[in-house]
Amino acid sequence: MKPTPLTRRHALRTLAGLGSYLTLRHSVRAADSSASAAAAGTVTLGGDLKVNRLGFGAMRITGPGIWGEPADREAAHQVLRRALALGVNFIDTADAYGPEVSERLIAEALYPYPRGLVIATKGGLVRPGAGSWTPDGRPEHLRAACEASLKRLRRERIDLYQLHRIDPKVPLEESVGELARLRSAGKIRHVGVSNFSVDELARARRIVPIASMQNRYNVADRSSQDVLDVCTRERLVFIPWAPLARGHTGQGLGTVAAQKGVSELQLAIAWLLAQSPMMLPIPGTSSVAHLEEDVAAAAVRLTPTELAAVG
């Protein structure tokens, strides 16, 4: 059937609309030269370390299952260097990632470190084998772990050292007390905790100033909402692990992402940033392309209506 002028105009209008949508989608998803973690704004750790409010989690630059060396060491280095080029100045790692591999890769790729780069690491989990994560909160272990991280990272003092998880065999006060002693000795600048409840956080704060809390939190898992509320009120940085809720984002997030022309992962990051001014997401990846997509999310802004639609 020969198209009428009306149907031709409709088709052209549809194609124009599709072109605008694809242009918007490309401009947000594929990070261009203007993409920067600085678009997320800043947050201050411990009262003196100001960082951009979108960091990088260095867990996945290791081998499969967070075990062993990466398949392509230089590719891991490239991801870390590209993160800094995109304005990321907060990197989160742990001695358990590899184990030890992530910290070594960071030093190999980035040392000597640029001014203003904050590297956070964690101790308190050991890896007897692939797939095993065993708490060890004994003071002597934490001291040895901190000293080893200092050597691997080639630092004289760790900006933020976090207790990775409470060891049920060791009183919280003993583990956190050792971090307080390491802080007094100048080995640690600020102390953070991870996987703590509100009550456990309060107990830790009675021992030493706590600069940050790192708990699982994302659009699909808000079980740490009460902890986030405390951090927001008390001006403690909240670092959500598993920030992207892969595979469990829900229909609301997908619908809003499609409407805005961004990926679901980008919208998940933007949603996190909107939850609190103390939120510091650390999406991690072993891919430069995925890193660029994540950082581009720093510029995505959600209206109250869009936040409500996410659920």
Supply the residues annotated as catalytic: 97
Write the single-letter amino acid at 80: L
Q: How far is CA 214 from CA 16, 185, 231, 236, in A?
A: 45, 24, 10, 10
> Are the beta carbons of 62 and 68 closer than 8 angstroms?
yes
* Cis check: omega of the bond before 112, within 30 degrees of 0: yes
User: CB neighbours of 168 closer than 8 A, spacing ≥ 6?
Assistant: 135
Tell me if 296 sits within 8 A of 30, measured CB to CB: yes
Q: How far apart are CA 290 and CA 296, in angstroms?
A: 10
DSSP string, 47-114: TTEEEES--EETTTTSSGGGBS--S-HHHHHHHHHHHHHTT--EEE--TTTBTTHHHHHHHHHHPSPP
Angle subtended by helix axes 101-110 and 139-153, to nearest 10? 30
